[in-house]
A and B are shown apart, each in its own frame.
Chain A
Amino acid sequence: MPTTTTSAASSSSTSASASGNNNRQADVFSRLASSDPEVKLKALREVKNQIIGNRTKKLSFLKIGAVPAIASALADADDSEKCNNILVQSAAALGSFACGFEAGVQAVLDAGVFPRLLRLLTNPDEKVVDAGARSLRMIFQSNQAPKYDFLQEKNMEFLFSLLNSENENVSGLGASIIAHACGTSVEQRVLCEAGVLEKLVILLDGSLSQREACLESLATVLKNNPEAVSDFVGLESGRYLNSVTELTKDRYPRTRLLSCLCLVVIYNTSPSYFVNMGTKSGLITTLLELLNDPGQSGDDAALGLSCLIAGKEDLQKLAYEANAIKNIVDILKTDSELQPKRLQGLFLSLAELCSKLEDCRCSFVSLQVLDLLINALRHKDADVRAAACICLRNASRSVKNLSAGRFNSDHVMLPLVQLLHDPSSSVQVAVLGALSNIVLDFSSPKSSFIEFGGIKQLIELSKSMDPDARCSALRALRNLMFLADNKRKELFISDVNAQGFACLISDPEPPVQEQALALLRNLVDGCISSIEFVFDEDGLILDTVGRQLRKGPQAHMAIQGMYVLTNVASGTELHKEAVMQQLFPQATGSENFMLKFLQSDESQLRSATVWTIINLISPSSPGAYDRHVKLRSAGIIPQLKNMVNDACLDVKIRIKTVLGQSMSFGDNY
């Protein structure tokens, strides 16, 4: 289109150009419906050529209904030779629409042309078969692909007919169907029993496309299935495992990636096949190199690496020694905009590296990665935001760095607090995890989190419908109140009344109860006046704690409950007597819960219970003797005498303390 120099003219020329495009599109579109096969064919070729690799064009053709039109062209074409070109071009165009474009896949499936594409596979003309197979492969790359029922015999027959085909696109299609549709262990087993592994491994020696399809489908069939892995490794005494391992050195990056991902699946399912340290190192090094690949392989490599090292300290160490952190940070620091999937994978890999190794966390902090993470917290993709939060959570799992206040700044805290309102629930869960750690500032004078109104937000979240959110919010509050001074505790207590807190302690979910009690434990530690909180509203909170403990709770919850009682019992006479009230309520016929706890398998519970007793009969308090008498007649002191050789040293030592105090009251060992 001619352009002019004036802006008014150029804007009109732009709109003229746009309408020119629209006119051309409309023209092509109408020619698709032509009864003249030559015209139709030409239109099909034009559409196909315009949309290949061009997402914008795909979208604009989609909007004018090109897909149903092409689907009609395909359906109307008969099987005569004359129509073969139309079949080929329409299948190719549909395949192109579906290629890497979810809306395209949707449109193709909505147009109802899927069965027609399947029929192309039995066409006598090889070109038609090829086009059909390629097109179907594109559809099966997507999660929207139709479910394939492997359990139906005729479907299995059809699948094997594909795998047996000489045509590489068709056998590749068979492998693709497996790669994307096989989901359950039942399906994996059925496929293995039908001999799919033997068919797939033949493709390893085939063309590039077959090899790659084979690697993808192997990973799917073997994933989390030790029997399938064993079958695969057993094939020709490990020949194919070796082949896959060799392919990690292939010249094509995508082949290297897919073989790595296959090995990751095998390693995660049955690590015993990887005794050789060299293989593990090689796998890590290859994945690290692939991180630099600009295409999809790089994206997938990042996620693959995080999958591989997840939960495995030895592999994390290998990766750290192979300079993984610096490699990843260098990629993150490049100017070019990275795809969300790659960012997610890179952050998750960093997160895994920091999950157990303190060296990694320290090197992470020293490489000034925090700024990169803070930016990622504002990314438009929820998965990236969540991954950045998980990374922060793991990096802040370091008492040393927390103590140094590395995360306690406005710059870090503000975006995190903002994410508490994120529309994505997975981001909310992830940010709560990060905040749980970061609020642990060992009571430094300034808490950015509190200044940004974080306490109120956590209190809100502690009332969430989602029990995980309630639990996480309470954990964050608990950590915030660790060694907190009265001023900080007051900020919490003023917004939560006794009734509200009692509800948290009696939450239906035990993990929530546990965190609520742990929070309470911290609230009543420290300055002795802070114990008063449990007496608000006629001692509602203390009563609730007692009631929960009498219900025979899980050990983790009981431990926290007993430490609440321990802490209260370290207070004044009144406090100690109030604890006795909870241990020996007037109307009770059931066995005293302390006796049960003393016989628990959990040493921490036995220890916590003994501490309560130590504090109750602490010699410095006037009522200690009377309390001792009561504890003795309730069978508690005698029970302790039976435990002088407790298996846990700490429990043994505490019991010795009690019995020593007991002796000073005139009781004999």
Chain B
Amino acid sequence: MPVRVVESNTPAQVSGTDPGNRSQLPPSSLLGAGQAFSGTQNVSNQQKEEAWRVNVQIQGIDLEHGYLCGTMEALNVPMADTPVITFWEGEIVDGKNYTFYTGKWEATREDDMRHWSKFPSFSPLQGQVESDGGRQLDLNNYPYIFMRWKEQYFVNVGTDCGLTIAGFYYVCFSCSDGSISGFYYDPNSSPFQKLELKTVNEGRSGFSFSSYELQ
């Protein structure tokens, strides 16, 4: 569920409500705070095949600013004794706050196109994105959400753990079944490490949703 920030009546001058007039992506119930995903990240290189199990949890989402954040937990990481948890922040490509062009993190436009085009759901949009950056696209009604996720810090290990969070992920989320695929981009790491996640139902027969409300 998206976070609803509510201003309550207070003793003094603090007041105001969020302006809700600007158009924004509709919330997808499966991309909401509390939603959990599980899968793998393929970290193979030329020497060997390797995959880490990965769990992701969304902690917050602010559609008005095209922002979301959460944690990522990597299991069976060879260099680490315990699962490694990182906190990441995401940019939602909504045509308003963020576009398909990254414009930072050492990713060129060519890098961007190379990665987005690896998602089958991007092909219908590719032509327009290449010609005018996708300005005319109605991403509100497209059943896939494109994002970039950037890990910000390690939650439970030190920076000397031998792992890097220098790069970021190009991510595609499917609104219909909540599946996520992504590609890790870091000029100093193996290219196109693929992230594949599905929603987690914790042993339930169906979907279950938690929510919170920030004051």
Point out residues on A near B: beta carbons under 8 Å: 303, 306-307, 310-312, 344, 348, 351-352, 355-356, 358, 383, 386-387, 390, 393-394, 397, 399-400, 403-404, 426, 429-430, 433-434, 436-437, 440, 442, 468, 472, 475, 478-479, 482-483, 518, 521-522, 524-528, 563, 566-567, 569-572, 576, 603-604, 607, 611, 614-615, 618, 620-621, 648-650, 653-654, 656-657
Q: B34, B153, B176, B205: which contacts A571 (Cβ < 8 A)?
A: B205
Task: Find out whether the CB atom of B16 lies under 8 angstroms from the CB atom of A355.
Answer: yes
Whether A383 contacts B11 in the complex (CB less than 8 A), given A397-B214, A397-B215, comes out as yes
Interface pair B210/A615, CB less than 8 Å apart: no
What is the predominant secondary structure among interface residues of chain A facing chain B? Answer: helix
- Beta-carbon contact of B69 and A399 below 8 Å: yes
The answer to whether B14 and A306 touch across the interface, beta carbons within 8 angstroms, is yes
Complex-state Cα separation, A434 to B17, whole angstroms:
17
Closest to A397 in B: B214
Cβ-defined contact, B3 with A399, below 8 A? yes
Whole-angstrom CA separation of A404 from B156 in the bound complex: 11
A440 touches B212 (CB 8 A): yes
Q: Which of A437, A522, A607, A653 contacts B143 (CB 8 A)?
A: A653
Beyond A303-B13, A468-B9, 11 additional pairs, beta carbon < 8 A = A351-B14, A386-B11, A393-B215, A429-B8, A436-B213, A440-B214, A522-B210, A566-B209, A567-B208, A611-B207, A615-B205
Q: How many A-B residue pairs have CB under 8 A?
A: 175
Report yes or no: A394 in contact with B14, Cβ–Cβ below 8 A. yes
Judge whether B87 is part of the interface by a CB distance below 8 angstroms: yes
Question: Is B41 an interface residue when CB atoms closer than 8 A count as contact?
Answer: no
Instruction: List the B side residues contacting A426 at CB < 8 Å.
Output: 11
Question: Does B28 reach chain A (CB closer than 8 Å)?
Answer: yes
Q: How many residues of B contact A (CB 8 A)?
A: 52
Query: Could you jot down 21 A-B contacts, CB within 8 Å?
Result: A310-B16, A311-B16, A352-B13, A352-B14, A393-B215, A403-B60, A404-B87, A430-B10, A433-B10, A442-B71, A468-B9, A478-B212, A482-B211, A525-B210, A570-B207, A571-B205, A571-B206, A576-B205, A615-B205, A649-B175, A650-B28
Which residue among B57, B140, B201, B214 has the maximum number of chain A CB atoms within 10 Å of its CB? B214
Contact present for B29 and A650 (CB under 8 Å): yes
Contact between chains at B8 and A433 (CB < 8 Å): yes
- List B1-46 residues whose CB lies under 8 Å from chain A: 1, 3, 5, 7-18, 26-29, 33-34
Q: Is the CB of A387 within 8 A of B12?
A: yes
A440 CB contacts on chain B under 8 angstroms: 212, 214
CA–CA, A433 and B71, complex, Å? 26
Judge whether B10 and A618 touch: CB under 8 Å: no
Which of B146-162 touch A at CB < 8 Å? 152-153
Contact B215 A436 (CB under 8 A): yes
Q: With a CB–CB cut-off of 8 A, which chain A residues contact B13?
A: 303, 306-307, 310, 348, 352
Chain B residues with CB under 8 Å of A524's CB are 208
Contact for A525 among B7, B16, B141, B208, CB less than 8 A: B208
Interface presence of B204 (CB below 8 A) = yes
Which 4 pairs show the lowest CB-CB distances between chains A and B? A311-B16, A399-B60, A615-B206, A570-B206
